[in-house]
Structure 1
Amino acid sequence: MDNRASVAGVFVLLCLIWGSTWLAIKLGVEAVPTFLSAALRFAIAAAVLLALGAVFRRRLPGSRSEWGVVVFVGIVLFMGDYGLIYWGEAHGVPSGLTAVLFATMPLMTALAAHVLLPKERLSVRKLLGIGVGFAGIALIFRGQLADAGLGLFFPMLAVVVAAACAGASTAAMRKWARGIDGFVFNGLSMGIGSLGLVAVSSASGEPWTLPSWPRGLAPILYLSLVGSVIAFVAYLWLLHHVEATTGSFILLITPIVALALGFAAANETIDMVDGIGTAITLAGIYISFSRVAARGAPSAGASDTLTDRPEINPNGGK
């Protein structure tokens, strides 16, 4: 398959998966204590990924820098980022509004990449694309933004901080995780994040009970197997082929996917302004992508499939 077609296909797949996870998280925290729900999600995903790593005989990280980025991502992304998202949704932030607030991630990623990655400096085109894209998202979810009162200030702030954690983690993976196998990297990082979330759950006094089926366990299994195992292996493959900021633009598409799912599954209405907002968001993404397309796609390197060697290439093949 042509490399650009593969990149586009994985990008769309991730938009669809992560566009559905906001609702799954909301359903999960309604049935299972907040941090325990997140801990179970990543514990299951870690077990599956490490088992796959063992089956395919992937190597463990060898150097201090490799272990350092594994621990960093485990704490900052899987414990910090997701802990804050789960806490925000459990404390009243609607799933659609969570998706909007987390759509600040492309800006956070661009700032982190500017500091950590010499070849991914901020540009007027990137900032313009991010700004236009976010303006479209804000227009689509104007009602939820207007309805959010001061009582949701801290839960909403938690989601924005989560976006900063995700942006920093993405840039760190691009810089320091070269050559670490994707199954092993994600499995170890998710395992560390899960342990941290268990500690937070225990410290906050959450009751530990087995999730019921299907109300509690079904969302956790979906988030573990689809939203974590499949999605993060695919995301690391994508980071092998595109810049960090480009990959983060998925988070501008996911609110639109969430809106479409609400229309299809919950009979929510979509009006002309929503369509205009969607067009504005897509225009913002095009503004940022057009520069990348003009330069040409990064080389795919040695791996062109998700299953050959799902590892991170910090230089995007350049």
Structure 2
Amino acid sequence: MSAPVADAAPPHTLLRPAIALPFLLVALLWGSTWYVITTQIGDVPAPWAVTYRFMLATPAMFALAAWRAKVLAMPRRAHMLALAIGLFQFCGNFNLVYLSELHLTSGIVALLIGMMLVPNAIFGRFLLGQPITARFVLGSAIALAGIAALLVNEAREAPLGGNIPLGTVLALLAMLSASFANVIQARPSGKDVPLLTLLAWSMLYGTGLDAALAFVLTGPPVMPDQSIFWAGTAWLALAGSVGTFPIYYDLVRKLGAGRAAYNGVLVIVIAMAVSTVLEGYRWSPLAVAGGALAMVGLLVALRGRQMAVKAGS
């Protein structure tokens, strides 16, 4: 089977305003969300903060699905898939991310989540039969070395009370949870229904799971009265969860999954920049070296993944 037309798009396609502007918009929105999450945790238990986010996002996603996809009904097997995506993406991933940011700066968490390409490739190999290139393995190893240096720097600079190993484990588990959701939604039962419809139902199931988890772990809802909390919740729900998905998946159709994935590298750069300005992240020589290695490794790995998609299509 030949490669999709989108994956054969010429490299200069990314420079066209019709592609570059949405590409930058998605990166800016997603890059900003990592810091905004820090305004959601502390006074409010993380599971309830996640629940409030998706209680607001879910009706908006259903409205978007009704407008764009024109259909909200799905077959039973698609609902089972939506339940799994809700569990791993909108419950597991987000709860673990929020908890990890209690211990790590937002930029470091974004960088760890950005390594999702590695489990994506592994899950894709075993669940979807997609190949892994040697270039991808090399890039992943370089990026992991860079992340290790950043975590060492984080441990040296962390304020009292932060648990770097725990934060790292939580972020890595979040990455694995989201990666599994990313891969399973590419299965045939997900392709049989409009993407926005699948996302809306997945978000609904995830919200229910979030509320149940929050109640079990922390008790009755905690309703903060700070305006910054609710403003952040609205931004995360509408801009970070609803507004970006249609734009990003349109880029996937136009550029192919390989080139569209470069957006994730730009998201990390923006998240680290925001963390530097607003969280006072200190760029020691070790951190600079680690950040450079991570970026180089991710670019090499992404290039390798793109080549694998072409070769194996």
Higher relative contact order (CA 8 A, sep 6+): 2
Alpha-carbon distance, 1:230 to partner: 1.6
CA distance in 2, matches of 1:296, 1:37: 37
Report the counterpart of residue 52 of structure 1 in structure 2: 64
Alpha-carbon distance, 1:66 to partner: 2.0
- Which of residues 114, 124, 137 is equivalent to 2:134? 124
Contact 1:139 1:274 in 2 (8 A): yes
Q: Which has the higher helix share?
A: 2
CA distance in 1, matches of 2:215, 2:270: 34
Contact 1:19 1:257 in 2 (8 A): yes
For residues 102-130 of structure 1, give each alpha carbon's deviation from its aligned partner in whole angstroms, at most 9, with x where no partner exists. Answer: 23311111111111222x21221111122
Contact 1:186 1:233 in 2 (8 A): no
Structure 2 SS opposite 1:174: coil
For normalisation by structure 2, the TM-score amounts to: 0.79
Task: Note the residue ranges of structure 1 that are not aligned, 5 or more in a row.
Answer: 299-314
CA distance in 1, matches of 2:187, 2:309: 21
- Which of residues 193, 209, 224 is equivalent to 1:180? 193
For residues 70-122 of structure 1, give each alpha carbon's deviation from its aligned partner in whole angstroms, at most 9, with x where no partner exists. Answer: 111111111111111122224x333233223323311111111111222x212
CA distance in 1, matches of 2:309, 2:124: 20
Contact 2:65 2:197 in 1 (8 A): yes
Task: Note the residue ranges of structure 2 that are not aligned, 5 or more in a row.
Answer: 1-8
For residues 150-184 of structure 1, give each alpha carbon's deviation from its aligned partner in whole angstroms, at most 9, with x where no partner exists. Answer: 94433431221111011111111222321432332
Report the counterpart of residue 100 of structure 1 in structure 2: 111
CA distance in 1, matches of 2:261, 2:176: 12
For normalisation by structure 1, the TM-score amounts to: 0.78
Contact 2:57 2:237 in 1 (8 A): yes
Change (3 A) 1:67 1:237: farther
RMSD: 3.3
Report the counterpart of residue 124 of structure 2 in structure 1: 113
Change (3 A) 1:68 1:48: same
Whichever residue aligns with residue 184 of structure 2, its letter is A
CA distance in 2, matches of 1:107, 1:218: 34
Overall identity of the aligned pairs, in %: 22
Change (3 A) 1:291 1:7: farther
Contact 2:100 2:170 in 1 (8 A): yes
Structure 1 SS opposite 2:268: helix
Change (3 A) 1:266 1:288: closer
- Which of residues 256, 260, 270 is equivalent to 1:242? 256
Q: Aligned residue pairs: how many?
A: 296
1:232 matched to 2:245? The reply is yes
Report the counterpart of residue 3 of structure 2 in structure 1: none
